[in-house]
A = this chain, B = another copy of it.
Amino acid sequence: MTKPIEFYFDFASPYSYLAHKQIRRIEEKENIKINYKPIFLGGLHKLIGITAAAFINSKAKFMIKDCKMVSKKLNIKFKFNPLFPINSLNIMRGLLTINSNIKDSYIDSFFNAYWQDGLNLNDEKIIFDILKKCKVKKNDFLKKIKDQKIKYKLKKLTQEAYDKDIFGAPTFMVNEKIFWGQDRLVYALDEFFKKN
C-alpha cells in the first residue's frame, strides 16, 4: 500500500499553479498520482487571522516578481494574472460538482486559464468556453455551484485543512507531515519515497 501525497490548493494562488505544474511532471516521471485537495484559501486565512501577501503592498510586489523568476528557472509557462488578488470561489466550488473522470482536465484547464494565459475568469463567457472543452454542461454547473451543499462542502474541506494545522497554499501532506510552499515539494517527495 502506498501512502498518499496530498496537495492542498486554490486556483487563486499563483504558487499553487507553480506547484501543480511540477506535480504533473512528477506524476508522469514517477508514475504516481497526487491527491488534489481543494480549499478556499481566503477562508483559511480568515480562520487563522492571516493577512495574505496579496494584501500587503511590498509583499505582493515581490510575489509577482518571484513567481516570474521561479517559473523561468523551472521552465514553466507563466503569466501573472492582472486581476490578482483573484476570487476563485465559483471555480473551486465547481470542482466539487463534476465527475471524477474529468477532474484532471478541469484542474489543468482552470489553472492554465488563470496563470498561464492570465484570463479574466470573472467573465462568464471565458468560463463557459473552458467548461465546454472539459465537457461540463454550463447550466448544470451554474445550478450546482449555487447549491448550499456544495458551498458547505468547500467550507468543510477548508475547515478540515485548518484542523490539520494547514495555514496556506500550496501545502503538501505526506505521513501527516506538512510541507508548505512550492519550494517544499522536493521535501514532500523525500518523505514519500523514503523507506520506512
Contact = CB atoms under 8 A, between A and B. Distances in A.
A66 B162 CA distance: 18
Interface string A85-106: 0000000000000000000000
Interface of A: 48-51, 56-59, 61-62, 65-66, 69, 73, 162, 165-168, 177-178, 180, 183-184, 187, 190
Chain A residues touching B, majority SS: helix
Contacts of A73: 187, 190
16 contacts: A48-B56, A48-B59, A51-B51, A56-B167, A57-B165, A58-B162, A58-B165, A59-B167, A59-B168, A61-B165, A62-B165, A62-B180, A66-B180, A66-B184, A73-B187, A183-B183
Contacts of A56: 48-50, 167
